[in-house]
Amino acid sequence: MESVIYLDYAATTPMREEVFQAMKPYMTKEFGNPSSAYSLGRTAREAVNSARKIIADSIGAKENEIYFTSGGTEADNWAVKGTYRKALLEGRHCHIITDEIEHHAVLHTCKALEDIGCEVTYLPVDDTGKVNPAMLERSIRKDTALVSVMMANNEIGTIQPISELSKIAKRHNILLHVDAVQAYGHMPINVDELGIDMMSVSAHKLYGPKGIGFLYVREGILDEALLNGGSQEMGMRAGTENVAAIVGLGEAVRLAMQELYDEAERERKLRDYFIDRVTAEIPYVRLNGAYGAGRLANNINFSFSFVESESLLIMLDMKGICISAGSACATGSKSPSHVLTAIGLPTNLANGSIRLTLGRSTTKEELDTAFNAIKEAVLALREVSIQYEDFTKGQQVNENRRILY
């Protein structure tokens, strides 16, 4: 479509031209298998190694601590299931602590482990989506093997106090896994400074290709192979490497790190401009997640009273505006978002929620167009809402009221 306004960069990002160009040779003439000894193979191996180095440098890790995966979901599964298997092999019972607003890649993995005897504590979050470190400390048991808390939430953008959580985990000798799929490339992350033991990342959230990501694993903490077979990925994830995708990930990381601070600052300003405009000019709206520094630079999430987000999304789609009703993975599910429920939203408000996520191409003009379309659609939907009619009959509508629930 020609005049699309794409505001769903948390769902996925378009691949950068530079990334595509970097990948191209490895899909055609440089097609060697990195395990082959001759020069065609060595070229592919060098390309994989150089991507691994770029990535390791970007988080202050060593090259042998980066394992390529098919993306964030696989990395999350590996970290959580690997820790469980390690505990079992060492003859220990396994307890895992996570929180209620993790991505399903972590939550459903934990549920699957519960089916086979693992015990899991799901920490509640406050009304902005933040995990309380004191609550983590209170939930720790003798058999706790892993704490898994995301760096930043994919729906409401809340940034977790990872440094505080990691100090608690370290004090009790417990591993910390961090799903950084939404945060990496948007904010600086150093695994040593933050005390992270394992970290999941996905390339398609940072203008890289789909189907590739990595799991950072601190040296010596986990020797549970994800896939058994050949000796690829230091024997931990067998199977011929997706060389072109790995090269693309490396290039996407290199570019993201170069632009990190400037781009985050630019998006932060646009984010706050849009948030301030919506709260000032559309009545009966609630900002979900933190305001200001505790929020990802590119994330905006609002709930509108007396509006169904599905209808809103269709009306915006007709104008070529792509936003989401929550996480893309939950689309099609009838139940309200687990994240919005966990921060205390009643079902009617959770069902009137939209997420806009900004990216490199987002401009103020695009946001102004999106704002006008959202305002028009919200007001039109309220015009035909019986609940809104009952509400306006029941009380005088004050156009300046910001929030209702």
Which residues form the interface with ligand PLP (CB under 6 A)?
71-73, 76, 103, 105, 150, 154, 179, 181-182, 202, 213, 329
Sign of dihedral through CA atoms 46, 54, 197, 108?
negative
DSSP 289-339: S-SSTTB-TTEEEEEETT--HHHHHHHHHTTTEE-BSS-GGGTT--SPPHH
Smallest separation, CB 12 to ligand PLP (Å): 8
- Can you count the helices (H) and strands (E) in the chain? 13, 12
Question: Which residue's CB is nearer to ligand PLP, number 232 or number 324?
Answer: 324
Question: Which residue's CB is nearer to ligand PLP, number 8 or number 65?
Answer: 8
Q: Among this protein's residues, is 329 annotated catalytic?
A: yes
CA distance 57 to 41: 24
Question: Which residue's CB is nearer to ligand PLP, number 44 or number 155?
Answer: 155
In contact, 19 and 207? CB cutoff 8 Å = yes
Lateral strand order in the sheet of 299-304: 285-287, 299-304, 353-357
Smallest separation, CB 186 to ligand PLP (Å): 12
Smallest separation, CB 298 to ligand PLP (Å): 12
Question: Which residue's CB is nearer to ligand PLP, number 69 or number 232?
Answer: 69
Give residue 191's identity as a one-letter amino acid code. V
Question: Which residue's CB is nearer to ligand PLP, number 154 or number 301?
Answer: 154
Give the DSSP H/E element, type plus range, for residue 391. helix 386-394
Tokens for 47, please give them.
Answer: 């390309």
3-state percent breakdown (helix, strand, coil) of the chain, nearest 5 = 45, 15, 40
Smallest separation, CB 72 to ligand PLP (Å): 3
Q: Please list, in sequence order, all residues whose beta carbon lies within 8 angstroms of the beta carbon of residue 156, skipping any fewer than 6 positions away.
A: 101, 128, 129, 288, 289, 295, 299, 301, 339, 340, 343, 355
In contact, 300 and 358? CB cutoff 8 Å = yes
Smallest separation, CB 261 to ligand PLP (Å): 22
**Centroid of chain to Cα 294:** 15
In contact, 145 and 83? CB cutoff 8 Å = yes
Give residue 262's identity as a one-letter amino acid code. D
Smallest separation, CB 345 to ligand PLP (Å): 19
Question: Which residue's CB is nearer to ligand PLP, number 279 or number 341?
Answer: 341
Residue in 110, 118, 322, 329 annotated catalytic:
329
Question: Which residue's CB is nearer to ligand PLP, number 72 or number 326?
Answer: 72
Smallest separation, CB 380 to ligand PLP (Å): 30
Smallest separation, CB 182 to ligand PLP (Å): 5
DSSP 262-280: HHHHHHHHHHHHHHHHHHH
In contact, 216 and 198? CB cutoff 8 Å = yes
DSSP 236-262: TB-S---HHHHHHHHHHHHHHHHHHHH
Question: Which residue's CB is nearer to ligand PLP, number 103 or number 382?
Answer: 103
Which residues are tagged catalytic? 329
